[in-house]
Amino acid sequence: MTEIVATSSLSPANKHAEKTLAIRLFGVSDIPAAMRKMNWNVAADLMQYWFDGKPWSTIDGAMSNEVKDHAALAPAPYFNSAIVKMSWLAKFERFNKVLNVLRVAWNNGPAQDLMREKILPKFKGRTPGVYPLQFNGEARSVERFGYCNSRSVIFRFVDEIDELRAALADFNVRVFPEGEVVVTKDKVQLLVSRIGFYVEDAYDFNDAPSSFFSQPLGFWNFDGIEGPFAANAANVGLAEAQGAVTMQGPGDAASDRMYKEIAEARYFYIKNSHFVAYRRQTGKGGDFQVFSDVLYEHVPLVVMTL
């Protein structure tokens, strides 16, 4: 990000003593580094992947509607399956609550209907025998084949901003079965020996076309994020401190350094639209689909006639 040069008079009594200080104001491309200062490394890695990517070939460079609406999978390199781990997600109670719901609901009525819809057409009519139903920990392969149940983790506007929210915001938790498919002359049966869980999300900064306001992403500076009240209070205090420095007389090296540090500590209100503008101005920034690794759990053998 290019430095923004700010002209400031450090000697109001002497109008000829103006100096030009190179003050680097905070921008969206600085957020990953600020996240790392907060030890939000997963969130930082996801955002850096976006900055390292290229816009899509769509008119506005955003993720295609087909991928956004789950009608298609994102092609390479517009997906990532390496950054988000289920062990990291397990640190957050909001995620664990949804995971526990799916542990109970993985084979409820709608889930069984979905398993029949996804599995039966792929095995009906095959030569009688026993066929493995396995995805080898590849969440994207499950997404292509079809999961059996899903729940969403949702954040409200007033909820606390933690690393989970900064990394994924609202996202989906999926569950799927693994085991064997037994094909006989008369029927197809699914024998489930374990189930797998994974997370899926569309990582983008595109507001809905009907939105009147761009989605807020918090108040950021080079050290991290703050709530609106704390950030605004800090900015007021910084402005007062800046004014005090300018009243100290001719700007020496110490005053210049202090003025610069104060200016660069300011918090900025970041929205989705800032990332969209960054992509438009720089030709960089690629939306992508996120998949976690897979968490497997064994279950008592379930036999289901499809």
Task: Please tell me the predicted confidence (pLDDT) of residue 242.
Answer: 61
- Alpha-carbon distance of 73 to 79, in angstroms, equals 9
What pLDDT sits at residue 95? 97
Q: Give the global pTM.
A: 0.86
The pLDDT value given to residue 253: 67
pLDDT tens for the chain, residues 1 to 306: 333 333 333 444 444 445 566 777 788 999 999 999 999 999 999 999 999 999 999 999 999 999 999 999 999 999 999 999 999 999 999 999 999 999 999 999 999 999 999 999 999 889 999 999 999 999 999 999 999 999 999 998 777 889 999 999 999 999 999 999 999 988 999 999 999 999 999 999 988 777 777 888 888 989 899 888 887 787 677 666 665 656 665 556 665 666 666 766 788 889 999 999 999 999 999 999 999 999 999 999 988 898
Backbone angle region of 70, left / alpha / beta, with phi > 0 → left and psi within -120 to 50 → alpha = left
| Partner residues linked to 60 by β-bridges | none
What local confidence, expressed as pLDDT, does residue 282 receive? Answer: 94
Residue whose structure tokens are 């983790």: 153
> Nearest Cα to 298, choosing from 152, 179, 210?
179
Q: Is 15 helix (H, G, I), strand (E, B) or coil?
A: coil
Please give the pLDDT value at position 240.
Answer: 62
For residue 6, the model assigns a pLDDT of 36
Alpha-carbon span 306 to 301, nearest angstrom? 16
So what's the pLDDT on residue 266? 80
pLDDT, position 251: 59
- pLDDT at position 259, please? 63
